[in-house]
Amino acid sequence: MKKTIPILVAAAAALFILAALILGEPLAGWLEIVLNWAVIVASAALLVAIATLILTHLRNIVRGKRGFIFSIILISTFLVSFIGALVFGVDNSAYLRWVAAIQLPLETSLLGLAALVMTAAALQIFRSRGWSLLTLTFGISALVFLVISLGLLQALNIPVLTTVINYLQRLPMIGARGLLIGIGIGALLMGLRVVLGLERPWGE
Amino acid sequence: MILCPHCGKENLPQATRCVHCGEDLEELFRIEGMEDNSALQEEPDISVADLLESFRNDSSPKDEETRSADSTGQAYVSDSGAESNAEMPAEEEEQAPEWLARIRKRAQQEEDAAGELTRKGNSLDAARSEDHRGRVDEEFANWIGRIRENARRENLLMPKPAINSAASEEGVPEWLRKVRELQPEAEDGEQFAEEPAEEPAVEEVEPEEEQGEAAAQDQAQETESVVEQTSPEEILGDTEPAAEAVSELEPEPEAESAGEKAQPADEEDSDSGDAEELPESAAAPQFAPVLEELGLAADGAALELDEKPASSEELSADLLLLRRQKENAQILMNLIGEEGRGIPPAKTQRVSGRGLYRLILGAFLLLVLAAVLVFVPEAKPKQIENPAPAVALKDVLDRLASGDKVLVVLEYQAATSPELEQIAAPVLRELETRGAELQFLTTHPNGLWLADALMRAAEIPTRETAFLAGGRLGVLAAALNSEGNSAVIPAGIEELQKYELILLLEDSQTDIQNWIEQAGPWLSASKLGVLASSQNEALLLPYYDAGQLAGFAAGTLQGRVLAQALDQAPLTSAPSRAFQAGLLVMIAVILLGILSKAEADSSARHSKEPEA
């Protein structure tokens, strides 16, 4: 029973959503109710997840586990944000600027770091892999598309060059479409497995 | 010794062919330890045809002899039978009894008088004979193989021969001889120079071989014992000029025993002047046909190369071989040891002063880059062809009238906010100019403060931003909300169908797919427009081609083009220049990687050239 009920609930919900999407209006009202339930359950699950996170890090601090300093930072920032939102309100401009002043540099530097890592990898790839079809293709394609992304060639306003650039810019689309088709088929199969009870994303 | 049944002359026991008349002696060939078996197998080896033939010639006196002698072997019986057939006088046929004549007549009339039985029996006999011969051959090949293997092992284990005396005679010091041994290629020229001196030595050896041939019969027994420990090539008498010459130049004391002489090492070859070796070399021509018939003659050349007498050149080859094997083993050990480890970084020798030079060069490049970013005006496209999706979006925006409701949905992160603000700000300014009623919605908590920054960047009055909880489910619920009374939909947001345009500001493929695939079926396709980061263009294009989007603009370049089309000034803030600077740095780094690899290859090639 413990395993069967979640499977039945998941399969029933998935089948109902599919039916509502196919049939449309006749089931739209029922679909809205089901979605409201789902949103409430998801919000409650989010609260449980936050509580678990806080408890875990509090336990780390109490036991003095290795890296408990990071647990202290996490809990303190969480409390400051939570209390600040409770006191000033979520829409308060001062509060929003304060959050933005922390989050914007953090996220931007993370993205910049990713770009740096990729650049370092591009520098090392020729040394570590040597001259091969793979490295040469990578190097040439990276250079071509980086130059195109600069926009300087487009600024020259040479008709032939613009045509070539437009043609080249279509090439990544082909690969991306292939990827998207693969992702779509994978998602379809995953959904089917969930509906049939073969996959249990909620765990055993 | 054995006697040839054809000419009656003596032959060696190992001979398979008579050296005098050339007839086969296979039936007389004996191998030690095999005589008993062969004798046992030969006795029943009489074919049915021979028996019938003997019956047929029953009355002739020769047949009686044949019957009495049939136990001596099949070949003899068949030969005598053949003779009796050929020499049967016609008179004897006439004198034969009537019943025998009838049988003979019928046998002549019926071609297959002997019947199928005879034929099968003959084939069976032939198979048996082949089988027996094959076993003998196999046994002999194994025997020869064992001898060769032993000789090879002894050759390897044999200590290096003392050639100090020869070396001293030639006046070549020890160290020089070792160097020559390790570099045989370098000695080729010297060998060519020495060859004329070696030829007379060979001529001196040949008479000894002839002399040995004369004494071969006397030494037959000794030869047999030697054969057991030596390879056939040695039995044949290895008369390689170089080896003989060395043996001539380096006279060694007589070997103490016959066993030592039989060893295929250089000691044996150096004893070419000894009397005991002469029978071996003299017997060689007699053994040649034997080995040739056994299929070993073809291997002779190769074996000679493999089992040369251990002259100084041969020893050096052995040394080189061992050294190469040792090096290969060491390389293999190193490879096994390094398995699973990471690739070590390329080691480059640092040249003094080169680090400072690189530092100055790098600083200069950075300075130039910074100067370009600060002082050089941004390159703007004068006239770029507007992409079709952006043109379509512009058409949708142009159709908007004053008072039309537009829902702006913010679903991007802080890291991509500069790019999206650069794209969206001119559009929002245009909508504000047209008098459209703008409402802001976000599904990400970050969107609450990002919307504020966006409105400031677009220079439009600040509005309240609604937060749609529930993520994907919330979006689907909002799309399904046809009466505007859903608890999920935040206050101030109407039914989505009532908006003339839903403008999505996206940096995530998942969110784009969610809106188009989940909410799209419940909305009109003409209502959805997207402003996205550049990496999402590939995702958006298929949706646009499929008619699921009204239009889109992805990336700063398309955003700038769209702004120009809307007669709005695009944002020329630092992010655009920083983006270009980042691209330039990446281009420079990739070029640097290519150049450094090319330089490393070039220096490696130059360092190898002097060695070669």
Who has greater pLDDT, B475 or B67?
A: B475
Contacts of residue B537 in chain A, CB cutoff 8 Å? 173
* Long-range Cβ contact pairs of B350-354 (< 8 A, separation 24 or more): none
Nearest residue in B to A130, CA atom: B597
For residue B503, what pLDDT band results from cuts at 50, 70 and 90? very high
> How much is the average pLDDT of A102-116?
85
B289/B304 Cα distance (integer angstroms) = 17
Q: Cα dihedral sign for B418, B423, B424, B429? A: positive
Closest listed residue to residue B148, CA positions, set B88, B221, B217, B230 = B230
The whole-number pLDDT of residue A75 equals 92
Tokens read off for B366:
């950075």
Same domain, B184 and B133: no
Question: Please, which residues have CB within 8 angstroms of residue B449's CB and are 6 or more apart in sequence?
Answer: A96, A97, A99, A100
The whole-number pLDDT of residue B263 equals 45
Q: Does A42 sit within 8 Å of B470, measured CB to CB? A: yes
Q: Does B591 sit within 8 Å of A39, measured CB to CB? A: no
Same domain, B84 and B223: no
Same domain, B561 and B428: yes
The whole-number pLDDT of residue B536 equals 85
Same domain, A163 and A81: no
ipTM confidence: 0.75
Domain count, chain B: 3
Which strand (E) or helix (H) includes residue A159? helix A159-195
The type of residue at B184 is P
Residue B11 belongs to a domain: no
Final residue in a domain of this structure, among A73, A90, A107: A90
Residue B155 belongs to a domain: no
Same domain, B279 and B419: no
Range scoring the smallest mean pLDDT among A27-36, B83-92, B125-134, B337-346: B83-92
Torsion angle defined by CA atoms of residues A130, A132, A135 and A141, in that order, rounded to the nearest 10 degrees: 140
Residue A98 belongs to a domain: no
B142/B148 Cα distance (integer angstroms) = 10
For the cut 90, the answer to whether the pLDDT of residue A52 exceeds it is yes
Percent share of chain B, pLDDT over 90? 3
Same domain, B129 and B178: no
CA distance A88 to chain B (A): 14
Same domain, B215 and B130: no
A136/B399 Cα distance (integer angstroms) = 49
Residue A105 belongs to a domain: no
pLDDT digits (tens, 9 = 90+) for B568-580: 877 765 566 777 7
Same domain, A73 and A140: no
Question: Please, which residues have CB within 8 angstroms of residue B181's CB and are 6 or more apart in sequence?
Answer: B312, B313, B315, B316, B319
The whole-number pLDDT of residue B304 equals 45
Same domain, B164 and B116: no
Residue B195 belongs to a domain: yes
A143/A137 Cα distance (integer angstroms) = 10
Q: Which of B70-79, B129-138, B303-312: highest mean pLDDT?
A: B129-138
For the cut 60, the answer to whether the pLDDT of residue B205 exceeds it is no
Who has greater pLDDT, A115 or A49?
A: A49
Q: Is A72 on the interface with B (CB under 8 A)?
A: no
For residue B73, what pLDDT band results from cuts at 50, 70 and 90? very low
Residue in A99, A106, A123 closest to B593 by CB: A123
Same domain, B397 and B268: no
Q: Detail the DSSP E strand segments found in B281-435.
A: 405-411
Domain count, chain A: 2
Contacts of residue A43 in chain B, CB cutoff 8 Å? 469-470
B297/B303 Cα distance (integer angstroms) = 10
Tokens read off for A63:
């036991």
Contacts of residue B476 in chain A, CB cutoff 8 Å? 35
Same domain, B176 and B84: no
Same domain, B110 and B170: no
Residue B181 belongs to a domain: yes
Do residues B54 and B67 lie in contact, with contact meaning Cβ atoms separated by under 8 Å?
yes
Tokens read off for B412:
């991007």
Same domain, A86 and A137: no
Tokens read off for B203:
């001529």
CA B323, B325, B328: angle at the middle one, nearest 5?
110
B264/B274 Cα distance (integer angstroms) = 15
Residue in A157, A176, A180 closest to B382 by CB: A157
> How much is the average pLDDT of B53-61?
56
Residue B367 belongs to a domain: no
For residue B290, what pLDDT band results from cuts at 50, 70 and 90? low
The whole-number pLDDT of residue A127 equals 80
Who has greater pLDDT, A199 or B332?
A: B332
Same domain, A142 and A86: no
Q: Which residue has the tokens 């040649």?
A: B288
Tokens read off for A81:
């944000």
CATH number of the domain encompassing residue B458: 3.40.50.720
The type of residue at B52 is L
Q: Does B452 sit within 8 Å of A126, measured CB to CB? A: no
Q: Is A124 on the interface with B (CB under 8 A)?
A: yes
Q: Is B606 on the interface with A (CB under 8 A)?
A: no
> How much is the average pLDDT of B20-48?
56
Question: Please, which residues have CB within 8 angstroms of residue B468's CB and are 6 or more apart in sequence?
Answer: B441, B442, B443, B474, B475, B478, B488, B489, B490, B493
Residue B215 belongs to a domain: yes
Contacts of residue A124 in chain B, CB cutoff 8 Å? 593
Range scoring the smallest mean pLDDT among A163-177, B367-381, B459-473, B512-526: B367-381
CA distance A38 to chain B (A): 7
Residue B440 belongs to a domain: yes
CA distance A61 to chain B (A): 28
For residue B232, what pLDDT band results from cuts at 50, 70 and 90? very low
CA distance A74 to chain B (A): 18
Which strand (E) or helix (H) includes residue B3? strand B2-3
Q: Is A163 on the interface with B (CB under 8 A)?
A: no
For residue B4, what pLDDT band results from cuts at 50, 70 and 90? confident
Residue A204 belongs to a domain: yes
Same domain, B558 and B409: yes
Question: Chain A to chain B, count of Cβ pairs less than 8 Å apart?
Answer: 144
Who has greater pLDDT, B191 or A152?
A: A152
For residue B195, the enclosing domain spans: 160-288+307-321
For residue A197, the enclosing domain spans: 131-204
Q: Does B385 sit within 8 Å of A127, measured CB to CB? A: no
Contacts of residue A26 in chain B, CB cutoff 8 Å? none
B548-583: burial string, b at 16+ Cβ within 10 Å, e else? bbbbbbbbbbbbbbbbbbbebebbeeebbeebbebb
Residue B351 belongs to a domain: no
Residue A76 belongs to a domain: yes
Among B476, B544, B580, the residue to mutate for chain A (most A Cβ within 10 A): B476
The whole-number pLDDT of residue A3 equals 76
Residue A29 belongs to a domain: yes
Residue A104 belongs to a domain: no
B383/B451 Cα distance (integer angstroms) = 31
Tokens read off for B243:
């080896």
Range scoring the smallest mean pLDDT among A85-94, B178-187, B276-285, B504-513: B276-285
Strand B405-411 and strand B10-11: the pairing is unpaired
- From the CB of residue B486, how many other CB atoms can be counted at a distance below 10 Å? 20
Same domain, A86 and A2: yes
CA distance A95 to chain B (A): 9
Mean of all residue pLDDT scores within chain B:
67
CA distance A27 to chain B (A): 10
Q: Is A160 on the interface with B (CB under 8 A)?
A: no
> How much is the average pLDDT of B115-120?
51
Same domain, B43 and B174: no
Which strand (E) or helix (H) includes residue B545? helix B537-545
Contacts of residue A104 in chain B, CB cutoff 8 Å? 414-415, 417
Residue A117 belongs to a domain: no
Q: Is A33 on the interface with B (CB under 8 A)?
A: no
Percent share of chain B, pLDDT over 70? 51
Do residues B519 and B430 lie in contact, with contact meaning Cβ atoms separated by under 8 Å?
no
The whole-number pLDDT of residue B382 equals 54
Do residues B104 and B56 lie in contact, with contact meaning Cβ atoms separated by under 8 Å?
yes
